[in-house]
């Protein structure tokens, strides 16, 4: 819902999109900025590519915090793709605590996959669609914060809530100690090569949210789906774990809806979408109440669960982030909102396909006082327990091997 004017970073250097093309030969030695080393056994501490199944020789180790691509290097974190490994990788090793994105095209588009080693190291063969077909790799550390986060543009509020992650409908806010910032390309204007470079060079982000309510003329307002698709493609160059655009509640699924149309085109063009953010406000039910505030909250909760389950049926392979939700902005009862918070967080904590959630406090039930201390409702939200966002490794259609 939040409408912000993003401050775009100056264009530092072009990083043009590119279709699959022949790799330029490079000298694969430890000094050519690939982070490569093919001597002896692989260490088991770095991302390792192999030309054979089960990570056998020949192999090459890569350095973390890097983008490997045949594109012209634009910064120290953009590295030359390892010599003689472009379009020749068959298997990989990924150490615990890291994620890797593999893509067919050198700009991160085309067939792709995101791998997350949350619980333990991952040793796997690439899926058939990516074997001998990789020209782009992003390899970075991955965090695993609580599911419960904060949605706020106020740094003071973010720090008062002390959640382990937050977003502010913006691209360039800072992370705080033990509070990771999640950037968002709020509108199409923020999808630029300069912002790709900016995000790649940050070492504190591992996810990127996309357009905020592009179906809403008072928000990011992108009525032409093809425009959204082309701008979204640009941000695949970041190699971050990507969230789809998030629409208003009634345009999330169903024939002819904005997100349905976007997802159809995204699938046909092989866009990588890793998580599905959603908004829910119990629109149209502000007078559909129970005899008491508690009964009203229970009815709201029942409708919330029904909506999320329908979203899951529409997009069964995507984990869900509930980035904006509440018991309806027109309900002013603190009790209704707080009891709904309790019911909804308990359910989301136990629902494996929901990775993250954040409450959007309405004007009638604010989160903070004028002095930036938490209100009763804000303090209650902060007190609610949360489970971790990731429940295990993410391997998609890669095949684990011994």
Question: What are 227-236's pLDDT values in tens digits?
Answer: 999 999 999 9
Per DSSP, what are the bridge partners of residue 140? 99
How far apart CA 137 and CA 106 sit, in angstroms, is 9
Give pLDDT, residue 100: 98
pLDDT at 1: 54
Provide the pLDDT for residue 74.
59
Residue with structure tokens 């966002």?
Answer: 389
Instruction: Residues 150-383: name the CATH superfamily.
Output: Glycosidases (3.20.20.80)
Whether the predicted pLDDT of 29 surpasses 90: no
pLDDT at 4: 39
Contacts of residue 72, Cβ cutoff 8 Å, sequence gap at least 6: none
Percent of the chain with pLDDT over 70: 89
Does the pLDDT value for residue 18 go beyond 80? Answer: no
Mean pLDDT, to the nearest integer, of 184-190? 97
Q: Is the pTM of this model over 0.85?
A: yes
Q: Is the per-residue pLDDT at 32 higher than 60?
A: no
Question: Higher model confidence: residue 255 or residue 20?
Answer: 255
User: What pLDDT, in 10s, does the model give residues 155-164?
Assistant: 999 999 999 9
Question: In the 8-state DSSP scheme, what is residue 189?
Answer: G
Average pLDDT over residues 122-140: 97
Distances (CA, A) of 158 to 161, 191, 215, 372: 5, 25, 28, 10
pLDDT-derived band of residue 134, with 50, 70 and 90 as boundaries? very high
The answer to whether residue 352 scores a pLDDT higher than 80 is: yes
Burial class (CB in 10 A: 0-12, 13-18, 19+), 301: buried
Among 19-33, 133-147, 252-266, 366-380, the least confident range? 19-33
- Mean pLDDT estimate for the chain: 91
Which percentage of the chain shows pLDDT scores above 90? 87
317-336 pLDDT tens trace: 999 999 999 999 999 999 99
Are 353 and 308 contacting, i.e. CB atoms less than 8 angstroms apart? Answer: no
pLDDT (0 to 100) of residue 41: 86
Q: How confident is the model at residue 6 (pLDDT cuts 50, 70, 90)?
A: very low
Res. 37: pLDDT tops 80: no
H or E stretch at 233:
helix 225-235
356-385 mean pLDDT:
97
Q: Where are the domains of the chain?
A: 150-383
Mean pLDDT over 234-258 rounds to: 97
Round to whole Å and give the CA distance between 36 and 63.
8
Average pLDDT over residues 379-384: 98
């Amino acid at each position: 819902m939040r409408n912000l004017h993003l401050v775009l970073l100056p264009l530092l250097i072009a990083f043009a999109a590119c279709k699959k093309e022949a790799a330029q030969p490079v000298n694969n030695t430890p000094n050519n900025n690939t982070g490569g080393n093919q001597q002896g056994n692989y260490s088991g501490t770095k991302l390792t590519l192999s030309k054979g199944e089960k990570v056998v020789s020949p192999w090459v180790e890569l350095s973390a915090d890097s983008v490997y691509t045949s594109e012209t290097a634009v910064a120290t974190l953009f590295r030359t793709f390892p010599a003689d490994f472009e379009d020749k990788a068959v298997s990989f090793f990924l150490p615990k605590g890291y994620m890797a994105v593999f893509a067919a095209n050198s700009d991160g588009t085309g067939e792709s996959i995101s791998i997350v080693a949350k619980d333990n190291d991952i040793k796997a063969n690439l899926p058939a669609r990516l074997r001998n077909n990789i020209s782009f790799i992003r390899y970075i550390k991955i965090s695993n914060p609580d599911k419960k986060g904060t949605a706020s543009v106020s740094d003071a509020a973010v720090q008062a809530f002390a959640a382990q992650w937050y977003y502010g409908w913006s691209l360039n806010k800072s992370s705080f100690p033990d509070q990771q910032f999640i950037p968002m390309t709020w509108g199409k204007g923020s999808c630029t090569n300069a912002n790709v470079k900016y995000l790649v060079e940050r070492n504190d982000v591992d996810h990127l949210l996309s357009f905020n309510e592009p179906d809403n003329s008072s928000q990011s307002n992108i009525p032409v789906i093809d425009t959204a698709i082309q701008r979204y493609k640009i941000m695949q160059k970041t190699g971050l774990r990507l969230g789809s655009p998030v629409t208003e509640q009634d345009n999330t699924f169903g024939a002819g809806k904005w997100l349905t149309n976007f997802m159809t085109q995204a699938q046909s063009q092989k866009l990588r979408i890793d998580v599905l953010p959603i908004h829910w406000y119990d629109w149209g039910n502000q007078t559909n109440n129970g005899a008491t505030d508690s009964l009203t909250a229970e009815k709201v909760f029942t409708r919330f669960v029904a909506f999320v389950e329908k979203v899951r049926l529409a997009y069964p392979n995507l984990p869900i982030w509930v980035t904006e939700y509440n018991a309806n902005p027109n309900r002013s009862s603190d009790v209704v909102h707080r009891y709904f918070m309790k019911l909804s967080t308990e359910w989301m904590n136990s629902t494996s396909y929901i990775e993250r959630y954040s409450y959007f406090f309405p004007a009638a039930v604010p989160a903070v006082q004028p002095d930036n201390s938490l209100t009763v409702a804000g303090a209650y939200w902060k007190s609610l327990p949360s489970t971790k966002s990731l429940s295990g490794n993410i391997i998609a259609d890669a095949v684990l091997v011994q």
